[in-house]
């Protein structure tokens, strides 16, 4: 895997300077517009994340990779973890990133420079949860998942075509996590992306 570039001076810029930070970020190979259109596309996506408003989210743009993301959002620390995602247990790496308004930070899974999923725990949205649900409409599928050790029936609302998944509490009134990813098919999401973060309890031994 190609090493990720260091944050350097990017980490000292604020979210308000996101347009400057993105100037070196994205770019289509052979883009005849010099990457400007792609830069704008990535900037729009990062701006939505910074605003914490996903009511009109259409998915993570395809050309916006991990190097572009970390140019916009500073690393919490340089160390990264490794794990598996999806039913296929696809290996990936993850790193925590800092963003204003996200007290639990952003957990970004990636393979090479491709972002697999951005996981947001306990998001503080600027609008009521019902507004998000209203704008998103009915999900493509609903899945059971585990909130730590507690099963949440039909608590994961999956919108593969919008590149978004919402994980509710048991009462379906509060959001425990939001996942952002590239738009994909339902099969691809289940195979390569979905994770319910299940924890297992073991009996205490004397």
- pLDDT, one tens digit per residue, over 152-185 is 999 999 999 999 999 999 999 999 999 999 999 9
pLDDT at 31 over 70: no
Give the predicted TM-score (pTM) of the model. Answer: 0.78
Rounded to the nearest 5 degrees, what angle is found at the Cα of 100, between the Cα atoms of 49 and 35? Answer: 45
Domain ranges of the chain: 10-192
The predicted pLDDT at position 114 comes to 95
Q: What confidence tens digit (pLDDT) does each residue in 92-136 have?
A: 999 999 999 999 999 999 999 999 999 999 999 999 999 999 999
State what percent of residues in the chain have pLDDT above 70.
76
Contact 81, 93 (CB under 8 A): yes
pLDDT at 41 over 80: yes
Please report which confidence band the pLDDT of residue 38 belongs to, taking 50, 70 and 90 as the band edges.
Answer: low
Please report which confidence band the pLDDT of residue 197 belongs to, taking 50, 70 and 90 as the band edges.
Answer: low
* Measured CA distances, 78 to 4, 22, 96, 106, 129 (Å): 10, 20, 9, 14, 33
Mean pLDDT of the chain: 82
Q: What confidence tens digit (pLDDT) does each residue in 54-64 have?
A: 999 999 998 89
d(CA 159, CA 169): 18
The predicted pLDDT at position 63 comes to 87
The predicted pLDDT at position 55 comes to 96
* 3-7: average pLDDT: 36
pLDDT at 27 over 50: no
Q: Which residues have a Cβ under 8 Å from the Cβ of 170 and sit 6 or more positions away?
A: 147, 150, 152, 155
Alpha helices in the chain (DSSP H): 18-21, 36-51, 66-72, 129-136, 186-192
d(CA 94, CA 171): 30
Q: What are the tokens at 2?
A: 């190609």
């Amino acid at each position: 895997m190609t090493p990720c570039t260091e944050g350097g001076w990017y980490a000292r810029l604020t979210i308000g300077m996101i347009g400057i930070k993105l100037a070196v970020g994205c770019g289509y190979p052979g883009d005849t517009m010099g990457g400007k259109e792609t830069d704008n596309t990535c900037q729009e996506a990062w701006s939505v994340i910074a605003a914490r408003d996903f009511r009109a989210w259409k998915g993570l743009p395809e050309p916006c990779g991990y190097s572009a993301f970390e140019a916009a959002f500073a690393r919490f620390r340089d160390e990264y973890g490794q794990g598996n995602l999806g039913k296929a247990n696809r290996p990936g790496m993850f790193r925590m990133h800092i963003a204003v308004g996200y007290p639990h930070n952003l957990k970004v899974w990636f393979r090479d420079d491709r972002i697999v999923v951005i996981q947001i725990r306990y998001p503080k949205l600027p609008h009521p949860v019902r507004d998000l649900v209203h704008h998103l409409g009915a999900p493509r599928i609903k899945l059971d998942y585990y909130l730590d050790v507690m099963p949440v029936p039909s608590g994961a609302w999956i919108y593969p075509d919008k590149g978004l998944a919402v994980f509710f509490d048991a009462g379906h009134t509060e959001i425990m996590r939001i996942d952002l990813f590239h738009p994909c098919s339902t099969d691809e999401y289940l195979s390569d992306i979905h994770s319910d973060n299940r924890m297992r309890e073991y009996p205490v031994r004397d």
